Amino acid sequence: MRRSLVLAAAAVTTAAAATVYVASTASAAVACAGAWSSSAVYTNGMSASQSGHNYTAKWWTQNESPATHSGQWDVWADNGACGGGTTPTTPPTTPPTTPPTTPPTTPPTTPPTTPPASGSLPAHIVTGYWQNFDNPANEIKLAAVPNTYDLVAVAFADATSTPGAVSFTIDAGLSASVGGYTNAQFKADVATLHSRGKKVIISVGGEKGSVSVNDSGAATNFANSVYSLMQTYGFDGVDIDLENGLNPTYMAQALRSLRAKAGSSLIITMAPQTIDMQNPAGSYFKLALDIKDILTVVHTQFYNSGAMLGCDNNAAYGQGSVNFIVALTCIQLEAGLRPDQVAMGLPATTGAAGGGYVSPSVVNQALDCLARGTNCGSFRPPRTYPGLRGAMTWSINWDVTAGNGWANAVSPHVHALP
Q: pLDDT tens digits, residue range 333-357?
A: 999 999 999 999 999 999 999 999 9
Tell me: do 32 and 172 sit in the same domain: no
User: Does any domain span residue 13?
Assistant: no
Q: Are 295 and 271 a contacting pair, CB within 8 Å?
A: no
Secondary structure class of 378 (helix, strand, coil): coil
Give yes or no: residues 157 and 49 share one domain. Answer: no
pLDDT at 21: 28
Q: Is residue 4 part of a domain?
A: no
- Which is more confidently placed, 16 or 230? 230
If you write DSSP's letter for every residue of 293-340 in order, what string do you get?
TT--EEEEE-SSB--EE-TTSS-EEPSSSHHHHHHHHHHHHHTT--GG
Let me know whether 271 and 406 are in one domain. yes
Q: Which pLDDT value is given to residue 60?
A: 64
198 and 261 both lie in a single domain: yes
83 plus 205 within the same structural domain: no
Most confident of 54-63, 118-127, 306-315, 399-408: 399-408
My answer on whether 25 and 84 are in the same domain is yes
Cα angle value 218/221/224 (rounded, 5°): 150
Tell me the catalytic residues.
Answer: 243
Q: Examine residue 216 and state whether it is found in any structural domain, yes or no.
A: yes
- Percent share of the chain, pLDDT over 70: 81
**Cis amide leading into 156 (omega within 30):** yes
Residues 86 and 141 in one domain: no
**CATH of residue 37:** 2.10.10.20
- Predicted confidence at residue 82, as pLDDT, reads 87
Q: What is the pLDDT of residues 161-201, one digit of tens each?
A: 999 999 999 999 999 999 999 999 999 999 999 999 999 99
Q: What is the CATH number of the domain that holds 379?
A: 3.20.20.80
Number of Cβ atoms within 10 Å of the Cβ of 90:
10
Average per-residue pLDDT in the chain?
Answer: 85
Task: Kindly tell me if the per-residue pLDDT of 88 is higher than 60.
Answer: no
Query: How far apart (Å, rounded) are the C-alpha atoms in residues 150 and 168?
Result: 22
Res 104: pLDDT: 41
Same domain? 243 vs 343: yes
Establish if 349 belongs to a structural domain: yes
Paired with 47 in beta bridges are: 56
Output the furthest CA–CA distance in the chain (Å, rounded).
Answer: 77
Q: In this structure, are residues 273 and 305 in contact, taking their beta carbons and an 8 Å threshold?
A: yes
User: pTM of the full predicted structure?
Assistant: 0.77
- 273: which DSSP letter? B
How far, CA to CA in Å, does 55 sit from each of 50, 72, 78, 83?
Answer: 8, 13, 5, 13
Is residue 104 assigned to a domain?
no
How many Å apart are CA 137 and CA 145, to the nearest integer? 14
Same domain assignment for residues 88 and 158: no
pLDDT classification of 46: cutoffs 50, 70, 90: confident
For residue 199, give the H/E element and its range.
strand 199-206
In a domain, 107, yes or no: no
Count of other CB atoms within 10 angstroms of residue 259: 20
Domains in the chain, number: 2
208 & 61 share domain: no
Length of the chain equals 418
Q: What is the pLDDT of residues 231-265, one digit of tens each?
A: 999 999 999 998 778 999 999 999 999 999 999 99
Is 50 a domain residue? Answer: yes
Tell whether 75 and 161 lie within a shared domain.
Answer: no
- For helices 248-262 and 283-290, what crossing angle results, to 10°? 30
Domain boundaries, position 178: 125-415
pLDDT in tens, 285-331: 999 999 999 999 999 999 999 899 999 988 789 999 999 999 999 99
Please tell me whether residues 65 and 186 are part of one structural domain: no
